[in-house]
């Protein structure tokens, strides 16, 4: 069982892990404790191709200084050679006597570090502060489990389900409190996605902004999907992050490419056509609906065809939260659990209709 000192060290390791970037690799922190419980070194993973957290911490010690020590790590030490060597072997070679970690590594290639350590005579304790560690890298583990980023589909609507008035005007359906909430959620995402129709019609900046219009520190990568050209003077070209353009309607292929770039959370905010496409394809893990107490009528529905020809085929959702934002209401919902392998989220649709090849994926941007 982990000691109080080791638990405190794990909490410190979790703080260190948060300093690392989100991306292809998980955020991991490590603390090396002396046999008497003093902190000898700390480390964290700084991104793909850099030293893993354990090696980062060990590198700060003189040769032999870690002999008899305890390594406290937020994720099971890896057992494979990629851009760097296996951390389990590095700990063994350093003479560490005990390893305490929070989560088992969920990847087939990297798992097995605990078994390798035990085989070498190192004492191993797992599951310490596991819930906190899981919360930290939940999005990364979800990508590993499902093979694609977590997708949130957002729209704002009137009380009668319209996204705009009949003449196309839509600013502003919701009030300032709702808009502030949207920008905070944009900043928490890795990518914000819009369709070419919305980009051409509304010229959105796709940035995360404060109430005074200034840019927030965290900015999602702007992603534009669709076969129509984006005008060269579009606001998205002035985004602080280089935009990605996908000349396709193959949403699973786009998500696959984004996952390969280290994108873990996708925020879809590109108008009714794109929102409907993600819903129709079964690619929405979460739905955010901002409802304003106004009536618009007309034909500008917030969501179009999502593949529900009859009530028996309705997409059932579970409401996870309701929140008032000024005069508006925010409804957060997720698909009903349908497949344990997806963690209760929507199941990814096939990349093409039976008998038809998937559309070509063309990415003209550069992350």
15 lies in a domain? yes
**The one catalytic residue among 6, 54, 269, 286:** 54
171 and 225, same domain (yes or no) = yes
80 and 206, same domain (yes or no) = no
247: pLDDT strictly greater than 60: yes
Q: How confident is the model at residue 171 (pLDDT cuts 50, 70, 90)?
A: confident
Q: Which domain holds residue 187?
A: 145-342
Give percent of the chain above pLDDT 70.
Answer: 91
**What is the reported pLDDT for 141?**
87
The residues, any chain, with a CB within 8 Å of residue 220's CB and separated by 6 or more, are 186, 187, 189, 190, 191, 192, 206, 208, 241, 267
* Two tokens, residue 361: 């994926």
Q: Are residues 39 and 78 in contact, defined by beta-carbon separation less than 8 angstroms?
A: no
- pLDDT tens digits for range 19-45: 999 888 899 999 999 999 999 999 999
**Residue 60 CB coordination number (10 Å):** 13
* Two tokens, residue 124: 């191993």
Higher pLDDT, 169 or 178: 178
Q: Which of 31, 40, 32, 37 is nearest to 3 (CA)?
A: 37
168 and 317, same domain (yes or no) = yes
130 and 149, same domain (yes or no) = no
Domain count for the chain: 2
pTM of the entire predicted model: 0.78
132 and 225, same domain (yes or no) = no
348 lies in a domain? no
Q: For residue 53, what is the domain's CATH number?
A: 3.40.140.10
**Domain boundary, last residue among 82, 112, 136:** 136
342: pLDDT strictly greater than 60: no
350 lies in a domain? no
43 and 174, same domain (yes or no) = no
93 and 160, same domain (yes or no) = no
187 lies in a domain? yes
192 and 305, same domain (yes or no) = yes
Q: Which of 52, 7, 32 is nearest to 97 (CA)?
A: 32
12 lies in a domain? yes
333 and 233, same domain (yes or no) = yes
328 and 280, same domain (yes or no) = yes
Torsion of CA 251, 255, 258, 264, to 10 degrees: 140
**What is the reported pLDDT for 54?**
96
Q: What span, in angstroms and rounded, lies between the C-alpha atoms of 128 and 151?
A: 30
Catalytic: 54? yes
Residue 167: Cβ-neighbour burial (10 angstroms; 0-12, 13-18, 19+): exposed
352 lies in a domain? no
């Amino acid at each position: 069982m982990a000691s109080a000192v080791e638990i405190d060290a794990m909490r410190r390791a979790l703080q260190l892990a948060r300093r690392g970037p989100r991306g292809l690799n998980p955020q991991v922190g490590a603390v090396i404790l002396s046999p008497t419980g003093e902190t000898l070194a700390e480390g964290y993973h700084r991104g793909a191709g850099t030293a893993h957290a354990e090696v980062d911490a060990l590198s700060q010690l003189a040769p032999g200084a870690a002999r008899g020590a305890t390594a406290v790590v937020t994720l099971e030490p890896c057992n494979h050679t990629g851009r760097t060597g296996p951390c389990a072997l590095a700990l063994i070679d350093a003479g560490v006597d005990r390893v305490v970690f929070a989560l088992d590594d969920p990847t087939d290639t990297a798992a097995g570090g605990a078994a390798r350590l035990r085989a070498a005579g190192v004492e191993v304790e797992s599951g310490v502060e596991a819930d906190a560690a899981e919360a930290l890298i939940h999005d990364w583990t979800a990508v590993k489990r499902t093979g694609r980023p977590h997708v949130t589909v957002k729209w704002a609507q009137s009380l009668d389900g319209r996204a705009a008035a009949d003449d196309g005007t839509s600013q502003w359906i919701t009030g300032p409190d709702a808009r502030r909430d949207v920008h905070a959620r944009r900043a928490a995402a890795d990518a914000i996605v819009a369709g070419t129709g919305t980009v051409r019609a509304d010229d959105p900046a796709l940035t995360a902004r404060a109430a005074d219009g200034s840019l927030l520190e965290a900015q999602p990568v702007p992603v534009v999907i669709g076969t129509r050209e984006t005008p060269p003077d579009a606001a998205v070209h002035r985004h602080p992050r280089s935009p990605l353009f996908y000349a396709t309607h193959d949403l699973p292929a786009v998500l696959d490419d984004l996952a390969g770039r280290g994108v873990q959370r996708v925020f879809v905010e590109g108008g009714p056509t794109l929102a409907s496409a993600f819903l129709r394809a079964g690619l929405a893990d979460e739905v955010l609906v901002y409802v304003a107490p106004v009536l618009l009528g007309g034909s500008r529905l917030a969501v179009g065809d999502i593949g529900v020809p009859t009530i028996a085929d309705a997409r059932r959702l579970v409401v996870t939260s309701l929140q008032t934002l000024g005069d508006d209401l925010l409804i957060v919902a997720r698909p009903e659990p349908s497949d344990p392998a997806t963690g209760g989220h929507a199941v990814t649709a096939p990349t093409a209709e039976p008998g038809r090849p998937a559309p070509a994926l063309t990415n003209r941007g550069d992350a």
